Chain A
Amino acid sequence: MNTKLPLSSKKIIEFREVSFHINDILPRVVISDVSFSVSEGETVVLLGRSGSGKTTLLRLINGILLPSKGEVLVQERSTRDWDPIRLRRGIGYVIQDAGLFPHFTVAENIALVPSLEKWDSGRTAARVEEMLRLVGLEPGKFADRRPRALSGGQRQRVGVARALAADAPILLMDEPFGALDPVTRAELQREFSGLARRLGRTIVFVTHDLREALLLASRIILLESGRVVASTSPEEFLNHEHPEVRAFTACLDLAPGAPE
């Protein structure tokens, strides 16, 4: 179990009474009155069923969406006041299908944000090599490949390397291991939990898999229909009384082999 302590108590992300609704033909509330904060160095896992609003919360952090009500503060500044491009360059982002650019090589994909930030080529190349080693890919073998020449697990490793390349203090991950086969997934989860501890970045991780949450989280925030129903340490989560928590832990009991 992850016992990492926050490096400081400085709030790097804060949701203040945030609601978000889509103004379509039928207005739909996606997030209602959510408040929580993330301290520097924490790994917060947003857990919930499909449609509970997890991904929407991530998109509110990097300013792809702006709250309908309330404020989202990143590094003590509202996402409304940030230049969205500057905000996003400081936030790494990893999604389920990795979203690698098929017309870029692995090295070019990883170098994306450094190149947008106009790093010189020597520094960028050194960084790409460092990142590849960090995620367990041999630079000489992988740097010049195209994403289509990689396995799903390798693509996801490159996705992580790309998100880490520009030293963003915050990392958002949206079910990054969700599309992988169970063996590869377990492998990447284990490696990533070690990596996350070493790097000390602030991570907000979305999943619907409680085992994954227990493995990675320093805190689990459970969402149900756009509301926070629990925000606890992984240990407390297992003994929590809320029915939605129970619904999640019940799945754990059914599955063979409890988590470590």
Chain B
Amino acid sequence: MSEWTFFAEHRAEIFGATLDHLALVVVAMAFAILIGVPLGMFIVHRPALRAIALGIASIFQTIPSLALFGFLIPIPFIGGIGKRTAIVALILYALLPILRNTFVGLTTIDPAVLESAEAMGMTPAQILFRVRFPLAMAFILAGIRTATIITIGVATIAAAIGAGGLGTFIFRGVALVSDSLILAGAIPAALLALLADFLLGLLERRLRVS
């Protein structure tokens, strides 16, 4: 098959783009987790802020990804052409599943457990870190898993604003009407998503309690 010879000939390039792609995803996910998890913890006891935070995160998800990349370009500091803008957009996309799952995980804990924690004289901070957080861990990880898979997919579009990664092959393939080029971007992206799903799924099962 011609695809296979194409892949074999360009394996170094494909591998390099895969690493670029992975780097985009890892950096964006790291920031999304660092923002989403603490924010989810913060809104547990703050209903007004909760509506605002979840609302804003939902809005980002409804913006078509190509448009979001476009919107960010003219914004100073975070905008422009390249990786930085792409990472900002990816963070905004990944935020909702992480934030929502963190919040839901922390708030759907057996009321009897929370009641006895409070009655045994645990401080609010102890309840958050020693009871709510460990019990919500599997839930939070499920959110991270969903966000990672979304991010791997959306990151292919980041090539449109010059961020590199596997999307470069796809856009070039569309322009040149070359299936081989499209597949050279799409197959590694799909494999990355499957691999991430599998590994995070394993971790999630290990952390699940009861």
Which A positions have Cβ atoms within 8 angstroms of B?
62, 64, 84-91, 93, 95-103, 112-113, 116, 146, 148, 159, 162, 172
Contact = CB atoms under 8 A, between A and B. Distances in A.
Contacts, number: 64
A252 to B, nearest CB: 29
Contacts of A103: 134-135, 209
A98 B116 CA distance: 8
A194 to B, nearest CB: 24
B121 A113 contact: yes
A181 B100 CA distance: 39
B71 to A, nearest CB: 42
A97 B135 contact: no
Interface of A is mostly: mixed
Interface residues of B, number: 18
B126 A116 contact: yes
B114 to A, nearest CB: 8
B146 to A, nearest CB: 23
B107 to A, nearest CB: 16
Contacts of B9: none
Contact of B120 (A89, A96, A148): A89
Contact of A86 (B110, B118, B120, B121): B121
B48 interface: no
A99 B115 contact: yes
Interface string B93-125: 000000000000000001011011111111100
Q: Determine which residue in A84, A91, A99, A159 has the highest number of CB atoms from chain B within 10 A of its CB, and name it.
A: A99
B112 A99 contact: yes
B131 interface: yes
B112 A98 contact: yes
A149 B112 CA distance: 18
Contact of B112 (A96, A113, A162): A96
A237 B121 CA distance: 35
A151 to B, nearest CB: 15
A90 B209 CA distance: 30
B112 A101 contact: no
Contact of A93 (B113, B120, B131, B209): B120
B113 A64 contact: no
B113 A101 contact: yes
B125 to A, nearest CB: 11
Contacts of B134: 103
A197 to B, nearest CB: 24
Contacts of B123: 85
